[in-house]
Amino acid sequence: MLYRPASDDVGSSYQGGLPLRVDLKVIEDTVDKGGLKCTHIDAIRMFTKEGSKVPNAALGVNGNRELDRLVDQPRLEQGGCLHANLDLFKWAFKLFPLISSSIIGDALEVALEARRLDVAASPYDAGIYTGGWKVKVECEEGRREYKTRQMEIMGKSGEVRDRLIKAYEDVLL
């Protein structure tokens, strides 16, 4: 997470040289004001040292502790998490060719929509990847837009998630 990073070279060390859309002070103020609400195990593990000290809606204060995927991921993740919805495609594709290609295709559609919102809401100027669309989560209007779109994605992903779980059960049983 790009919150008080150890290096001032945030573009090249985090996102391949993309310039920031907002400066680090805006990022810090946004996090300081609202805390963190991320529940995805991989994102939590990537927080900077200072980011790990910020109260998190899922963890309290993470304290940079090691998380166990088998224990913590089912406990922490929720259906609105964009990164959990990206993972639907990862897990669907791992079962190829044992599951229906329609599940894989639907999981890909959800993942693409989730990634587009994730990139649009990032602190980087990533408009080249989103057609110029930006979700300015550092302001109230942007947070409302993010939440609305996140809930839309959650609605679409729930049915895909249920189908994927059933497919896993069918393969394993």
In a domain, 1, yes or no: no
Domains identified in the chain, total number? 1
Q: Per residue in 98-126, pLDDT tens?
A: 999 999 999 999 999 999 999 999 888 88
Residue span of the structural domain in which 152 resides = 12-172
140-166 average pLDDT score: 95
Angle between helices 82-94 and 140-172 (to 10 degrees): 20
Model confidence at 58, in pLDDT bands (50, 70, 90)? low
Give residue for tokens 């959650």. 154
In a domain, 6, yes or no: no
In a domain, 53, yes or no: yes
In a domain, 2, yes or no: no
- Is it the case that residue 46 has pLDDT exceeding 60? no
More confident call, 93 vs 39: 93
- Is it the case that residue 51 has pLDDT exceeding 60? yes
Sign for the pseudo-dihedral over CA of 141, 143, 144, 150: positive
% the chain with pLDDT above 70 = 72
In a domain, 5, yes or no: no
In a domain, 7, yes or no: no
Cα 155 to the center of its chain, rounded Å = 16
In a domain, 97, yes or no: yes
DSSP 8-class letter at 36 = B
In a domain, 108, yes or no: yes
Model confidence at 12, in pLDDT bands (50, 70, 90)? very low
